[in-house]
Structure 1
């Protein structure tokens, strides 16, 4: 099968503008955001939107895929970092920061069934397991913490701050620090239950 040709520079730029504009519109107005408003925000015509994304579901799936792939690429780069503990913290910080900028978790369900999203998320989860294994082997992580534990904790800093009215936009950093202290081996106590299987 012939791989798809790369987009021309202007088409690639328009696609990136559309994804950013759509993410902003969905963050502000939910899934009811109109294609016309997304096009206006991106500075392109509606026809350009539909050339790249024939339906709104295609656009939502592309946003989800874009976010998952970006985190996956970061994780893969961090696998070669000299300090595995710092690398894991950098990954978790970027994951929380990405969500803080635009909480689009409500879009996840729309993209979850797309094979490309499933494949990208599977790769990202494998990378997280590798980051966790490296940190554990270098003594930066407690022995009983698994990649699955870390995957489940990724959204926690932002989830917690969602319960605080008028929270500081940087409050998530407090809870990420608490989580990361809990992942470190210093002063760790045995966990009462094994990790879930995902």
Structure 2
């Protein structure tokens, strides 16, 4: 008797499976954070665990692909707002968009805010985002719309801080983060004449949590 060989997935099947995996992983990470297992993601996507590892060598690689999409969304938003006529409004709109992503995607906040994972691409994307936000913040500084000692790194770090502050309320009050965004905006726009007591970080501190379980 001749043994049949396993069918090799076509290119279209591979593309479809990758999209199913990314969509399922984005949903489960967003809802439950980075502790979700590969097996749970595969089940949610309706594929076998082996299919996951054919596309992504580890959970960190899968999460990195999702993070890169979110970081690109944030960077694109910030870049577009560099052309806005009102620098203060542009910075406000960026911070609102950023906090919304942190609130929507729990894994984003855990990984980017904690800090990031074992992916050089994600590290570079975070630094690229910080550089664009620095330009956005510099426009507001030069207009006198924010304190003179506020930096783009401060702004990026504040995004996760606002989400963390509102997190205990969000299940019952999904828009509660807007209250804390306004408090943060008041803090960076009110020039009291007193400098902040500690210098700003030069770069975002990025370390790597263990995600592969």
TM-score (norm 1): 0.79
Aligned to 2:73: 70
SS in 1 for 2:97: helix
Aligned to 2:36: 33
2:27 paired residue among 14, 20, 24: 24
Provide Cα deviations, 1:57-79, integer angstroms capped at 9, x if missing partner. 21122222222222112212211
User: How far apart, in 2, do the equivalents of 1:36 and 1:192 lie?
Assistant: 47
User: How far apart, in 2, do the equivalents of 1:176 and 1:111 lie?
Assistant: 23
Is 2:123 aligned against 1:118? yes
Is 2:192 aligned against 1:188? yes
Specify which structure has the bigger relative contact order, considering alpha-carbon pairs within 8 angstroms and separated by 6 or more residues: 2
Is 2:175 aligned against 1:170? yes
For the pair shown, the structure with the greater C-alpha radius of gyration is: 2
Provide Cα deviations, 1:112-163, integer angstroms capped at 9, x if missing partner. 3311111111111101110000111123222232223222212121111124
| 1:34–1:147 distance in 2 versus 1, CA, 3 Å | closer
User: How far apart, in 2, do the equivalents of 1:50 and 1:97 lie?
Assistant: 31
Q: In the comparison of the two structures, how many residue pairs are matched?
A: 190
Aligned to 2:52: 49
Aligned to 1:5: none
Q: CA RMSD in A?
A: 2.8
Gaps of 5+ in 2: 1-10, 203-213
Asked if structure 2 preserves the Cα contact closer than 8 Å seen for 1:75 and 1:127, the reply is yes
Gaps of 5+ in 1: 1-7
Q: Which deviates more from structure 2 when the two are superposed, residues 77-86 or residues 126-135?
A: 77-86
TM-score (norm 2): 0.74
User: How far apart, in 2, do the equivalents of 1:77 and 1:16 lie?
Assistant: 27
